Structure 1
């Protein structure tokens, strides 16, 4: 029992660390974009992550099938397009704001899965989606000039949708193929496509300032390779709902760090939007089951005796 508690605590701390690192990724990306183009940054990030994962997990690639390669490339396609939309959109908006907009992907997943697998989302998912729309309105729209999205908002919502698609295809293919092999292939796919694009477009450069290169390496090593690995290991010792609650802190950490490090300024309306979106995420991911458990624990076991007294 004590060992189980220690493993559970380790898993929780690991997931908090992953959420923090992912949140810091928005700040690192914003800083790095001052030194290179969005796709060049992706090329650095995914090449570093692909080389590390390919070397460490090379044994998982020895007897790989064509079907696994195809599945990994499909997952890699959504990974690449999601990050491309995110990096380009980040040029037009606050890093903290983007952190919350990107996090809306967890609310989109059940509806995409509904379209693919014909499994209707439950009541909580619909409530979460409606809550998200209210939060998005507060966070993205400038009510003083009317209802309007800027290019960064549109691209980041596209990014959230593509990340939701990525989650769905990972959920489908990971049950049919080796998850580690799929991870390596998707990172390699994203790296190859990113490098191909920057070479063809003429954006490739080795003349990257040291701060930009360090941010790119941080994104590749910590935010991509180690974070995905940490999440996979930690979730062996905790349930998905519990993990989702902790990982949703990514948006909170991203916003706090963007304010501290980048000096982003949030209006009261934007803060309210972030709060509403976070409530929507909790509704979709947890269905408030932790409150139900807390209520059952605090509820008297023998209410009849209380009334007699």
Structure 2
């Protein structure tokens, strides 16, 4: 019996909750950015989240060799670049649903980056999915009147950095347990971006109870709880199976943004996002099929 069939339903439920928390993080962050500079917001958010997870990861961290700890911290610098592009894209974004689908391109670009930098051979499905995703992104750009918006550029840069980060994580720090590694990376991101904010950001803060509430929700729900549950769920199933469910983050973000901000999609936006999501499904079709067969036990295998 395959690993995917043995994986418990609890993992699927936790991963679905993770995608909802991650999507909620887009809403929390957008609201908090109304009163905080972007790098200061994301830096302090990750720093506090890392300190919270440190309480759970410390028993393992204190026994790790120093070289592994430093590897986790250095990889965290790459994570800093990805998150910086993401939060700048979010700040400039006028449509969270569209931005979420562009950011999800990082999943599709993982095997492409692996091919370019490490010589891996992506599956055929990647080369089928890539032009579909590019057409989808082109349609999003056409919706803006034949131009690429600033938020879209930032999100594409974030997707590229996330794709590189995933590749580096699987090669450089794969011997570090997930919880300590996540803690090190959150602390690294928080330290780097908070320092950069203090050096370069001069935007005044407009803190009030509402902004502080969104910030606390970002720290506790969208960072600490989200990453803790994600690590727990990923330990209960295979990485590819988890990736399929985590793709739903963009869908939840679009739905939450429609509900909270009243966002709607023009036909070109809707078609572009649909093509990007279709490309993600094509790229992961082997595992998507496994998930469908597992959720529909009556279907012929």
TM-score after normalising by structure 2: 0.89
Q: Where does 1:138-157 land on structure 2 (aligned, <5 Å)?
A: 138-142=139-143, 145=145, 147-157=146-156
Shift of 1:6: 10
In structure 2, distance between residues paired with 1:253 and 1:223:
14
Shift of 1:40: 1.2
In structure 1, distance between residues paired with 2:64 and 2:300:
53
TM-score after normalising by structure 1: 0.87
Helix, strand or coil: the match of 1:91?
helix
Is 1:117 aligned with 2:100?
Answer: no
Shift of 1:296: 12
When Rg is computed on C-alpha atoms for both structures, the one with the higher figure is 1
List gaps (5 residues or longer) in structure 2. Answer: none
In structure 1, distance between residues paired with 2:58 and 2:291:
44
Q: 1:44–1:208: structure 2 CA closer, same or farther, 3 Å change rule?
A: farther
Helix, strand or coil: the match of 1:57?
helix
Q: Which sits farther off after the overlay, 62-71 or 162-171?
A: 62-71
Runs in 1 of length 4+ with deviation above 4 angstroms?
4-7, 202-207, 291-300
RMSD between superposed Cα atoms in Å: 2.7
In structure 2, distance between residues paired with 1:199 and 1:219:
20
Equivalent in the alignment of 1:306? none
In structure 2, distance between residues paired with 1:35 and 1:6:
47
Q: 1:291–1:167: structure 2 CA closer, same or farther, 3 Å change rule?
A: closer
CA contact (8 A) 1:68 1:182 kept: no
In structure 1, distance between residues paired with 2:116 and 2:28:
35
Shift of 1:80: 1.2
Equivalent in the alignment of 2:106? 105
Q: Where does 1:49-198 land on structure 2 (aligned, <5 Å)?
A: 49-93=49-93, 94-142=95-143, 145=145, 147-198=146-197
Helix, strand or coil: the match of 2:257?
helix
Shift of 1:74: 2.6
In structure 1, distance between residues paired with 2:90 and 2:223:
18
Q: 1:13–1:81: structure 2 CA closer, same or farther, 3 Å change rule?
A: same
Count residues in correspondence.
Answer: 296
List gaps (5 residues or longer) in structure 1. Answer: 301-309
In structure 1, distance between residues paired with 2:120 and 2:31:
41
